[in-house]
Amino acid sequence: MEEFIETLMTKVGLDRKTAEKVVDVIKEHADDVPKWLGKSGALDKLPGGLGDKIGGLL
């Protein structure tokens, strides 16, 4: 998770404490995240057909 926290800090501009809170929310709702991504249309934007593969798991 440290790598994800670092990514949130550098690419999104979050401070460490906020990035850690984001990670905590994602961990708490891990079962819901794929459903949320599917509803948002984000899966359609993933490269190499990855969205179709993830969507097939939902």
The model's pLDDT over 1-33, given as tens digits with 9 standing for 90+, comes to 899 899 999 999 999 999 999 999 989 988 887
The pLDDT assigned to 44 comes to: 65
Domains contained in the chain, number: 1
50 against 19, higher pLDDT: 19
Domain that residue 14 falls in: 2-57
pLDDT digits (tens, 9 = 90+) for 31-42: 887 777 767 676
32 against 54, higher pLDDT: 32
The pLDDT assigned to 33 comes to: 77
pLDDT bin (cut points 50, 70, 90) of residue 57 is very low
> What are φ and ψ of residue 32, in 5° steps?
-90, -25
